[in-house]
Amino acid sequence: MKASIATVSVGGTLDSKLEAIARAGYAAAEIFENDLLSSPLPARQVGAMMRELGLDCAMLQPFRDYEGMPTDQREAALERMRRKFAVMDDLGTDLILLCSNCSPQASGDRQQMLDDLHRLGDLAASHGKRIAYEALAWGRHVWDHRDAWAMVRDLDHPAIGLTLDSFHSLARGVPSASIGDIRADKLFIVQLADAPKLEMDYLNWSRHFRCMPGQGDFALDDYAAALCRIGYRGYWSLEIFNDRFRSTSAGQIARDGVRSLKALHERARLQLRQAPAMAPPIDPRRFEFIEFAASHEEAEDFGRIFTALGFAPVARHRSKQVVRWQQGAINLVINSEPEGLAHSFDIVHGGSVCAIGLAVDDQAAAVARSDALDVQRFEQTIAPGEWQIPSLRGVGGSLIYLVDAATAPQMWADEFPLALDDAAPRNDLAVIDHVAQTMQYEEFLSWLLYYTTLFDFTKTPQLEIADPMGIVYSQAVESRSGAVRFTLNGSLAANALSSRFVRNYFGAGVQHIAFSTPDIFVAAAQAQAAGLPMLEIGPNYYAEIEAKFALDPALVARMAALNILYDRDGEAEYFQFYSRAVAKRVFFEVVERRGYAAYGAANAQIRLTAQTMHRDPAGV
């Protein structure tokens, strides 16, 4: 797979875009004409710069409003095209993209369009150039790649070929199986983009909401497999129009693009039963631990909440100021070392989650997968006798440890040999249900891609949640077994809780951790009795759910007394309660699922309002 990207996909000036694109490892870039027009660099210099950066120029784009035009306009367009050929010589490409005509003046007479394209083909051939014809989803007469292909096929002109653009094909619902009819040698270039499923006009959908393969809802795996099946060997070129992408780091977007193309290509290969080119996506068995960075003072704050939730400190690290807390199958680790990553993390963010341990069956394969996708690894010197556990950079500079599932008990025994037996854990909480990470809206899709390419995770549809101060976007990624789930949250609203979190926290991070319990009423009563500062829920909520779900008033009274929230989906039920925030940042949730698969989004507004009303420190 030869990776390419259109310069329109990333932010910045043309020279900085090209540098970011080259650094991310693409073989080529498409020059988007507006980027060239607005650049002070002459085309010849841009071409020289690309060669210096090791980038081929895949294509100049776009050229519009040609076929089927009235005579005078067609002649003018041919003259314009001659000038483009000179620019292409400077850039070092022989290929230019021709969009299907959108002009109201364009004739839909097929023979005229063919004649016009033939003339253009002759002109291009005489200059040693080629034309890649693309069916825009909003083209006036040609909006389906099957029609564009039929024209290219019938013309059979050596200088006229096809552009396939997954956005235009899939937005229009054109079956990917139809790619099977296209001759690979006439497919001059493929542009790839994903998009969320939206009900809106094609033009605005395309111009503002395109995203990297895997970030949206399109069935791109089938599309990519169809390309491989016909033996297409040309560029896979990202063409992403997205306002968010242009407002964020060009380097990050360019790297995400490479990651998305590699993962897409791999999924296509697997669909075609070809040998895998990289290690499989990581399928973690469980959360092995959550590590908190905390000063001694903050450690006491966390300890009080953990104790109220039923955890107990069970062991101390062999050589470091690190304590393991336990309950059920849950391990929480508080790291108060005066140096190392946890300490620097605490200095920057304050007491918070600095690492998450995931138990995996094959550490080497997991590391190979992350290397193949250019995920940054982290290494820290360890003391003699300590276990070296591979770790990857995750959200907000935190770490993901890849713990070997089989030897995890031995790891705990070796690393935490000093038993603390002042108190035993209760048995209210069983496992970690999900971890909620909050991030800037601009980086949301980047982390979504991280989780869905590195791991064998599926994503839920994106939800919009009403915060008293704005809208929060929320989406979950889940392992196939459901044992490991993250919810990702981000907002454009400056004062929504998630945005205040990112600001107060100096970056993205874990905002809450949810534990599951087999009995929410026992867990809540015990926690309340043990002094857990609970998030209080007002009486209007309970009146509403009693009526909405026809609940037994006695049950509702018990929920109200314990601040338990409720949701139902068919027969499936969800119960949840929240702690107030600890160390001004992190809060905890306890959930009981009775066949329920989601996260109680219906209650999120209630929770966010309660957090805002209570002037919870996390919300200030």
- The residue ranges that bind Mg ion (CB under 5 A) are 165, 191, 239, 514, 589
* CB nearer to Mg ion: pick between 46 and 238: 238
Three-class SS of 271-328: HCCCCCCCCCCECCCEEEEEEEECCHHHHHHHHHHHHHCCCEEEEECCCCCEEEEEEC
Please, are residues 263 and 214 in contact by the beta-carbon 8 Å criterion?
A: yes
Residue position matching structure tokens 């039963």: 273
Question: CB of residue 434 vs Mg ion: minimum separation in angstroms?
Answer: 6
Q: How many CB atoms lie within 10 A of CB 433?
A: 23
Q: Dihedrals φ, ψ of 489, to 5°?
A: -135, 140
Q: How far is the CB of 232 from Mg ion (least distance, A)?
A: 16
Burial of residue 57, with CB atoms counted within 10 A of its CB: 0-12 exposed, 13-18 middle, 19 or more buried: buried
Please state the closest distance from residue 595 (CB atom) to Mg ion, in A.
17
Cα separation, 93 vs 129, in Å, equals: 8
Smallest gap from Cβ 155 to Mg ion, in A, equals 20
CB of 166 to Mg ion, least distance (A): 9
CB nearer to Mg ion: pick between 191 and 440: 191
Q: Which is nearer to Mg ion, 395 or 402 (CB)?
A: 395
For Mg ion, the closer CB: 165 or 221: 165
- Under a CB-based contact definition with an 8 Å cutoff, are residues 583 and 351 in contact? yes
C-alpha 18/C-alpha 1 separation (Å) is 20
Q: State the amino acid at position 43 in one-letter form.
A: A
Least CB distance to Mg ion at residue 4 (A): 12
- Give the residue with the Cβ less far from Mg ion, 97 or 254: 97
Residues 6+ apart with CB under 8 A from 382: 388
Residue whose CB is less far from Mg ion, 239 or 346? 239
186 or 369: CB nearest Mg ion = 186
| Structure-block tokens of residue 134 | 């693309």
Looking at the Cβ atoms of 165 and 546, the one nearer to Mg ion is 165
To 10 degrees, what angle do helices 43-53 and 71-91 make? 40
* Cβ–Cβ under 8 Å, residues 501 and 483: no
Least distance (Å) from Mg ion to the CB of residue 170?
12
Give least dist CB 236 to Mg ion, A.
Answer: 13
Ramachandran region, residue 448 (left: φ > 0; alpha: ψ -120 to 50; beta: rest): alpha
Shortest CB 472 distance to Mg ion, Å: 12
CA distance linking residue 535 with residue 546, whole number of Å: 20
Q: Are 434 and 487 in contact (CB under 8 A)?
A: yes
- The residues that bridge with 334 in the sheet, in sequence order, are 292, 323
Q: Which is closer to Mg ion, CB of 94 or CB of 239?
A: 239
